[in-house]
Structure 1
Amino acid sequence: MNKLMTPLLATLLALATQLSAAEPESAFGLAPSATPQLQPAAAPSNLPLIPEAPQPAEKAGKGDEPKGGDKTAMAEDKLKKKIALRQAKMKAERDPALQALKTQALEAPTDFEQRKLYIDYYTALVDRIVKFNPGMTKEEIDMLRGQYTGRFFQVRVEPTVDPATFRTKH
């Protein structure tokens, strides 16, 4: 057995040296199929290595900043308007004429009269709020009036007939 091992080892050693002399070994035990190139093949010299990124197109109609400035200033203005509106509402609700109108609305005998009195109350309330807060725009006033009085209009059912006119016809 010893006699067979020696020639076998010698043959393997000879083959290994022939292979290593023919092709260089890689770190993974693989031999490269072609000689490595360090430089890219014939790249034009006037092209940059990293291409420049295109600039994003600006959106039409939008400026760099919103109308009122930055978001913090806009939120601050909105909060100031809300506080001013609340203060004006509290001053307006102290009016004795408005308090009497609200009491009448609460004590109204029919739904029709109650709706009518509430519409009158909230319309007068908005008018008083505008008096205490003159910086409100027409759109804000209309929106506030619509928010207060909108729920008293009957839009999903046939409107209630005024009881006074109903009694005179029948």
Structure 2
Amino acid sequence: MKNLLQQYKPFLLFLGKFIVSYLILTIIYQTYLNRFDAKNAEVDTFTQSVAEQSAMVLSWFDLKSYTMPHLTEPTVKLFYKGKYISRIIEGCNAISVIILFISFVIAFTGKFKNTLLFILFGTVLIHILNIGRIALLCVALYNFPQYEHLLHGVIFPLVIYGIVFLLWVIWVNKYSFYATESAK
């Protein structure tokens, strides 16, 4: 048994760090979300901010782009060209994707400074790309509403998760301790 534990120690350490960091970040996020009353259609401030930033990007294409609180759901309505196109829910803010990204980077440990800088860079990049994703999705849904499932359910998640996967590959191959050990 001791030999098995020793043999799989790197994997078990990775798994342990990933699970612990994921659970801690998820609990912190849930604590934040619990401050808002979803039963009274209250939207968390980060989701509200994502909706407003998406509307700002859309306003570069059309000045009739804006947000409006939903009166009966904890969502934000997003309008493009004066038309209600989509609702921004808590899941649209990419925090769960960012938590997954951060947990993976922490699990594949690197130097503290590199880890911190990569997490900050990755988080900002994911946020910016998410705003662009929402804006492009609204434009696409305005022009091609019949492809809603393909656009929202397949193409745009593939893009955001694809970017996260590329960030992970860069992290593991260039900055993690695994990369420095492989280089030797």
Question: TM-score w.r.t. structure 1 length?
Answer: 0.31
Q: Larger % of helix: which? A: 2
Q: Which of the two has higher C-alpha Rg?
A: 1
Q: Larger % of strand: which? A: 2
